[in-house]
Amino acid sequence: MSLTLAPGPLAGSPGDDVNYSIDGPKHRLLMHEFPRRVHARFGGEVVLDTERGRLLHETGLLPALYVPEDDVRTDLLERTDHSTHCPFKGDAAYWTIRVGDRVAENAVWGYPEPLPESSWLRGYMAFYWAPMDAWYDEDERVHGHLRDPFHRVDARASSRHVRVLLDGELVAETEHPKVLSETGLPNRIYIPAVDVRRELLTRSEKRTVCPYKGEATYWSLDGAEDAAWSYEDPLENALKVAGHFSFDHRALTVESDPPPRA
């Protein structure tokens, strides 16, 4: 993500504050080795298992894992008539996965005859993430997508004075927040639970999964649905915000004063 989205060097418009230029197409591709074993399961079978996976970074898109055909259970695949054309990679062929009565249609693609400028795609296959039952990075199950090695999440203690209000009513106030910075996203302020008026919050049914932070639980306020979220059991990159709440809703006013100067 960080390489192919602004201001990354492979973005369509990386910005003006650089001392270099890239002589190449507006839409850029970069493929490199993924450093660990990856395997995926479908219908009780391991359909891919590789230590030779490669990530393809493509302008404006999340990186995609490509796997050598030799590391794929091709006996479980059926070539289909479906095809798509990419002006940067060529014509993609598709395969359906079939394991017993389980079927994932057109869940696998590859470029049997890629364009000359993308010839390194020959012999590789890629899998849509969602149809698989489970993905593993080494032996840890991964949700959402593989982590981009160029994507960072940093949480830092702060002495900012932060207030959250709904129609003038105080919802939360703290001088001990955490500031979480994530590649390609605006900073998020996380407030300790002790500084939140928990009686105003109602747990929502909504859940989201971030490959870098974990599963988020959402909370609603009267008149502001899903106005806050928290990570009750975050991944290692977000451990500092465990038990904290972040707020973002058009009905809320979030005031954040800079910390006092030393």
What average pLDDT does the segment 45-69 reach? Answer: 95
Average pLDDT, the chain: 93
Query: In this predicted model, what pLDDT tens digit does every residue of 199-226 receive, in sequence order?
Result: 999 999 999 999 999 999 999 999 999 9
Phi/psi at 211 (5° precision): -65, -20
Distance of CA 193 to the CA centre of its chain: 26
82 near 56, Cβ under 8 Å?
Answer: no
Segment holding 174, helix H or strand E: strand 169-174
Where are the extended beta strands (E) located within 193-247?
202-210, 214-221, 224-230, 244-247
Place of tokens 């095809």: 83
| pTM confidence score | 0.85
Distance CA 219, CA 201 (A): 6
pLDDT at 15: 67
Alpha-carbon distance values, 103 to 107, 118, 195, 201 (Å) = 9, 30, 49, 42
pLDDT band, residue 258 (cuts 50/70/90): confident
DSSP 212: T
Cα first-last separation, the chain: 36
Distance CA 92, CA 71 (A): 19
Ordered by where they begin, the domains of the chain are: 29-142 (2.170.150.40), 153-257 (2.170.150.40)
